[in-house]
């Protein structure tokens, strides 16, 4: 007789909304299919297959691994959740009456696992020239059973001889079932403004770093300290957006009329930078999240599906070609064609603070820019080619990969000293937050209804197809309610017209 098991989740993806939160949880449900079929015989009819199912354990495990030429191999078990599906006492399974069937008899044992809401999203990173590493999640199942032999089918001496073999506990394992975990930010129900659906974040630039050419003289600090700069950019930028909108406001109300004529800002260079830091460990990450302790971490307790480099690392055969570092980083631009330059066109040749341009010293000189974004940047340098294509990632902080984004502004400044002029570069940067956006609930319902209309009316869901893949997953709690329990209302969707009851 043959026993086989398979894990079939209701939905192979888990969508987590919002920030990392140890107080939230998400449900992962499905069933384990247990199939039993009689052995084939050439000389006799098939006999009834009977067995005693002693244990059926479903396991959800999350892991993160890093492989780079500089740091070597590192791994961490993010979580491991188990659920015993055979409770109280063993269960007898048999295919009596279906011995000659070409299809096995199957039993579906349902499960429901409670996943923590702080888990990082599934991702692939590290050395792409080897097997892909990164953050992965999967379901595993293992069954323990014994064969049951009917006394009437065999002679007593054969039963006595085969008893040690038949009563031995056997094990059946299910193929690994990958689970894709996504993290999304829920956009506001009502756009904040025409410029952005998110609120605008204002940054006051208090200090300007100065780069003088060839170690030449610098612009006096008391002059630069009187320049006020206010940068406005959305608090979040969707990774699917094609541009980012920036507003810069400048003024210098404390400068004298003579000093305003000496400052010339002619060119602005703007760049959006993505910095990826690959690190062996991040203690602050482990301290703030309930990750399993060292006793449950590799190599003390091996991962259920480790990277091929794990075995080489444990026996000391994994040798990095360079000196081992604790971290390695790479930077690249997210703007189309690299950084973008803007020429300042004023009535006074770049002297934007001149009283002839802005008679009111408290008035702002305002510039609005649309920065074109790209999903994939230019080819990486030879030193970081192992990391794969330069792809736009959401801002995140994981156990082995930290992704940060920043907006860098460089201003070409010329200061007239009377005897000549000083040409320097003034720089400042502000942090950005790139997020993956999930469609609002109303748009999800529209897209789901459109997908259902494309399904022929005569077709029915396959028994092996998760029902949620056809009708869509249920919304997360954070999509329907605020953190204090108040219900969210989608003001973008108008209420239905009143109709009197008959």
Q: Could you read off the pLDDT of 160-210 as tens digits, one per residue?
A: 655 555 568 899 999 999 999 999 988 877 777 777 888 899 999 877 777
Give pLDDT, residue 448: 47
For residues 341 and 255, membership in a common domain is answered with yes
**β-bridge partners, 247:** 232, 368
Which parts of the chain register pLDDT below 50? Answer: 152, 323, 445-472
For residues 53 and 134, membership in a common domain is answered with yes
Q: Is residue 469 part of a domain?
A: no
For 47-72, give one letter per residue: b (16+ CB within 10 A) or e: eebbbbbeebbbbbbbbbbbbbbbbb
Q: Is residue 358 part of a domain?
A: yes
Region for 119 from its dihedrals, namely left if φ exceeds 0, alpha if ψ lies in -120 to 50, beta otherwise? beta
- The range of the structural domain enclosing residue 59 comes to 2-151+167-184
Residue in this structure with the two tokens 């028994």, named with its chain if needed: 463
**β-bridge partners, 92:** 52
Give pLDDT, residue 459: 40
Euclidean distance between CA atoms 212 and 215, whole angstroms: 6
Q: Is residue 384 part of a domain?
A: yes
For residues 173 and 247, membership in a common domain is answered with no
For residues 41 and 77, membership in a common domain is answered with yes
For residues 344 and 238, membership in a common domain is answered with yes
Give pLDDT, residue 379: 58
**Contacts (Cβ under 8 Å, ≥6 apart) of 359:** none
Q: How does DSSP assign 391-406, residue by residue?
A: B----EE-SSEEEEEE
Predicted model pTM: 0.80
Give pLDDT, residue 494: 59
For residues 171 and 227, membership in a common domain is answered with no
- With beta carbons less than 8 A apart as the criterion, state whether 38 and 50 touch: no
Region for 349 from its dihedrals, namely left if φ exceeds 0, alpha if ψ lies in -120 to 50, beta otherwise? left
Give pLDDT, residue 376: 84
Give pLDDT, residue 324: 58
Q: Is residue 459 part of a domain?
A: no
Give pLDDT, residue 375: 87
Cis peptide before 299 (omega within 30 of 0): yes
**Structural Rg of the chain based on CA atoms:** 32
Euclidean distance between CA atoms 396 and 433, whole angstroms: 9
- How many angstroms separate the most distant Cα atoms in the chain? 116
Q: Which CATH number goes with the domain that contains 71?
A: 2.60.40.640
For residues 266 and 176, membership in a common domain is answered with no
DSSP code at position 289: S
Give pLDDT, residue 455: 43
DSSP code at position 81: E
For residues 270 and 406, membership in a common domain is answered with yes
Euclidean distance between CA atoms 134 and 65, whole angstroms: 5
Euclidean distance between CA atoms 383 and 482, whole angstroms: 46
Helix (H) or strand (E) holding 93: strand 91-94
Give pLDDT, residue 206: 78
Q: Which two tokens stand for residue 51?
A: 């067995």
- Centre a 10 Å sphere on the Cβ of residue 165 and count the other Cβ atoms it contains: 9
For residues 228 and 368, membership in a common domain is answered with yes
Q: Which two tokens stand for residue 197?
A: 């659906």
Q: Which of 115, 137, 111, 135 is nearest to 24 (CA)?
A: 115
Tell me if residue 377 falls in helix, strand or coil: coil
For residues 211 and 347, membership in a common domain is answered with yes
Task: Please state the domain count of the chain.
Answer: 2
For residues 354 and 383, membership in a common domain is answered with yes
Give pLDDT, residue 236: 94
Give pLDDT, residue 413: 86
Q: Is residue 496 part of a domain?
A: no
């Amino acid at each position: 007789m043959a026993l086989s098991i398979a894990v079939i989740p209701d939905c192979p993806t888990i969508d987590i909304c919002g920030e990392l939160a140890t107080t939230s949880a998400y449900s992962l449900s499905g069933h384990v299919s247990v199939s039993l079929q009689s052995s084939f015989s050439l000389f006799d009819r098939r006999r009834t297959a009977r067995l005693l199912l002693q244990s059926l354990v479903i396991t959800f495990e999350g892991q993160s691994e890093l492989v780079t030429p500089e740091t070597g191999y590192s791994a961490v078990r993010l979580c491991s959740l188990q659920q015993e599906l055979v409770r109280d006492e063993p269960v007898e399974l048999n295919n009596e009456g279906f011995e000659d069937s070409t299809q096995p008899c199957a039993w579906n044992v349902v499960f429901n696992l409670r996943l923590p809401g702080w888990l990082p999203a599934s991702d692939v990173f590290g050395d792409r020239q080897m097997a892909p590493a990164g953050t992965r999640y999967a379901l595993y199942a293992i069954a323990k059973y014994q064969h049951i032999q009917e006394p009437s089918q065999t002679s007593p001496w054969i039963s006595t001889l085969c008893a040690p073999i038949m009563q031995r506990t056997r094990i059946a394992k299910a193929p690994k079932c990958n689970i894709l975990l996504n993290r999304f930010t829920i956009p506001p129900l009502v756009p904040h403004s025409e410029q952005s659906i998110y609120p605008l974040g204002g940054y006051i630039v208090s200090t300007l770093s100065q780069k003088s050419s060839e170690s030449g003289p610098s612009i006096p600090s008391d002059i630069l300290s009187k320049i006020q700069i206010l940068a406005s950019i959305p608090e979040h930028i969707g990774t699917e957006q094609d541009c980012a909108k920036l507003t810069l406001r400048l003024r210098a109300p404390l400068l004298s009329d003579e000093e305003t004529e000496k400052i010339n800002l002619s060119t602005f260079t703007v760049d959006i930078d993505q910095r990826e830091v690959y690190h062996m460990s991040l203690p602050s990450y482990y301290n703030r999240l309930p990750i399993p302790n060292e006793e449950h971490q590799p190599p003390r307790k091996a991962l259920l599906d480790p990277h091929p480099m794990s075995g080489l690392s444990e026996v000391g055969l994994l040798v990095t070609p360079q000196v081992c570092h604790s971290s390695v980083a790479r930077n690249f631009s997210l703007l189309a064609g690299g950084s973008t330059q803007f020429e300042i066109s004023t009535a006074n040749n770049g002297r934007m603070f001149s009283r002839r341009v802005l008679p009111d010293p408290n008035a702002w000189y305002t510039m609005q820019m649309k920065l074109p974004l790209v999903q994939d940047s230019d080819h990486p340098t030879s030193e970081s080619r192992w990391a794969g294509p330069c792809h736009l990632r959401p801002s995140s902080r994981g156990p082995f990969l930290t992704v940060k984004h920043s907006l860098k502004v460089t201003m070409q400044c010329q200061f007239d000293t009377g005897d000549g002029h000083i040409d320097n570069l003034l720089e400042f940067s502000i942090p950005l937050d790139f997020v993956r956006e999930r469609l609002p609930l109303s748009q999800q319902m529209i897209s789901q209804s459109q997908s259902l209309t494309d399904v022929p009316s005569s077709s029915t869901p396959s028994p092996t197809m998760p029902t949620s893949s056809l009708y869509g997953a249920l919304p997360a709690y954070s999509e329907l309610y605020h953190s204090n329990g108040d219900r969210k209302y989608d003001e973008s969707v108008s209420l239905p017209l009143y109709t009197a009851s008959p």
